[in-house]
Amino acid sequence: MNSNAISALPRPLLWLLCLVLTACTTSPTGRSQFMIISPEAAIVQSQKAYQQTIESLRENKTLSDDQRLADRVQRITGRLITVAQEQFPESRSWDWSVALIADDDTVNAWCMAGGRMAVYTGLFAQLELTDDEFAQIMGHEIAHALAHHSAEKISRALAAQIGLTAITASSGNSQAVSSGAELAATLALELPNSRIAESEADVIGLELATLTGFDPKAAVTLWQKMGVLSERRPPAFLSTHPDPSQRLTQLAQQAETVTGLNPNRVKAPIFPVTIIYQQD
């Protein structure tokens, strides 16, 4: 787009274009990220959403009361957090916590901005996870937070909303609503999709788990189990993830590469992460 074409844009669209073109940052792997909301703002928004989620879980009594499982989650996740804080000093101020959700039918885990996590008991009930395999899952989820993927997703959604507003304001035509979403996507250009973010979390999470002292080859056995499970009933955990067969190949290669980061598998100290579960 030449300078004359840009200057001819209606003011709302010109503002949107300037906003988008100046809202780029770089992820820990060197990937360009689009952000119009700061990671700090994403943490604030995530805290509100997390609190509401926990309140709902308590009200519906859907937190697990398995003390043994809570201790296991705390031990493994706490080790990962210790290394995460060493590698990403900004995370030392995060309010690290894990909600243990009693749902044996759901194979899932997640981590919001600021280190607020959740683990579903279905991971253990259906996959019979080893400690090393569970560490791969939590390393992957923590990696999403470390790479500011929450801020990235919020920014993409916000950009679409701004695009709709700008188009409508400039045209006064209700038919322009769909065009607004298209404009936002076009201006953002190389926005990473969710599968790219998942692959990035694989790389960061595998390194994190290895540095913590867990076996990197467990990433391969984990996804072999996921593959078997998905043949019976695809879990929600896989909905936006790369193709399992392709992922296995990539993880096997990456596991060989990172083994030297901690060849003796020396375990990191345990950070006292808060585990939210149903207590008597």
User: Cα–chain-centroid distance for residue 160?
Assistant: 20
User: What would the pLDDT profile of 54-106 be if each residue is shown by its tens digit?
Assistant: 999 999 999 999 999 999 999 999 999 999 999 999 999 999 999 999 999 99
Q: What is the pLDDT of residues 224-235, one digit of tens each?
A: 998 888 766 555
Does position 28 have pLDDT exceeding 90, yes or no? no
Whole-model pTM over 0.75 = yes
Residue type, 247: R
How many helices (H) does the chain have, and how many strands (E)? 11, 6
Which of 59-68, 93-102, 159-168, 181-190 is the least confident region?
A: 181-190
Give residue 21's Cα distance to chain centre. Answer: 24
- In the chain, pLDDT over 90 holds for what percent of residues? 53
> To the nearest 5 percent, what fractions of the chain are helix, strand and coil?
65, 10, 30
Average pLDDT over residues 3-17: 45
